[in-house]
Structures are given as structure tokens and as C-alpha cells.
Amino acid sequence: MTDDLGVDGWLTLPDVAERIGTDVGRVRRLVEDRHLLALRGDDGILRVPERFLVPAGEAWEPIPALRGTLVLLADAGFSDAEAVRWLFTPDPSLARRGDPAEPAPRPVDALVAGQKSEIRRRAQALAL
């Protein structure tokens, strides 16, 4: 299931815990509270897209704008897998910064770049 979503890297919950410097219980709470999203692979193991974590000083944290975006996508009727697919699908209509020959940005990349309002506007429009 996780192979066809366009995600370039996955982390198990213990890997996420190690990266953000906490325990697996706290990572599970982050998933329950929609600060992160985890999907089960074909092997039954929960995994989080690696791109959902960003550097925060010497540690890592979930993308700050991710939670609200995940909530909007759920409200629009997206399953967790559909939300991940949408976040990782390149969108040529997103403003490109830099070389126009570069591939189209993905909504997740725009969130990391601070384009929270634009991505949430698009997510909200999906509910209509």
C-alpha cells in the first residue's frame, strides 16, 4: 500500500522517535492527534513519511503546518492514504521558485517552504 503513494522515504515509529528524541508512545500520540500521519505497510508495520519531519535546531519535529492540513483533508473526505498521495503528488500550478526546469513542487514541499495558506486554501477547496 505504501509503495504507490509517491513518498520517497518512510520511517517506522521507533525511527521517528529516535529522530525527534522521544519515545514511541509520544510518537503514537502525535499520530493520534494528527501532528503526524502513519500508514501500515504490506508487512503490517506503521510508517510515517520521512518528509513529514523537518530540522528544528539540533533535533527534528513534525512540519508545523501539517496538522491543520491533515485535518482539512480529512474533513474533505480523504482517507489517510489519499491525503498522503495528495501531499506527495507534484502540482505544476504551485509557484516555482528557482529553476523552471526543476520538477513541479509537491504540496508537502510547499508546506515545508512556509506556503501554509496556499496549501490549506487548496485543501479546503477539495471539500466543496
User: Which residues of the chain have a pLDDT value below 70?
Assistant: 1-3, 95-101, 128
pLDDT of 124: 87
Cβ-proximal residues to 46 (8 Å cutoff; 6+ apart), any chain? 12, 13, 31, 38, 39, 40
pLDDT of 112: 95
pLDDT of 96: 59
Q: How far apart are CA 69 and CA 86, in angstroms?
A: 11
Q: Which of 99, 24, 111 shows the shortest CA–CA distance to 72? A: 111
Scan for cell 508546506, then name that residue: 111
Name the pTM for this structure.
Answer: 0.89
Q: State phi, psi for 70 to the nearest 5 degrees.
A: -65, -40
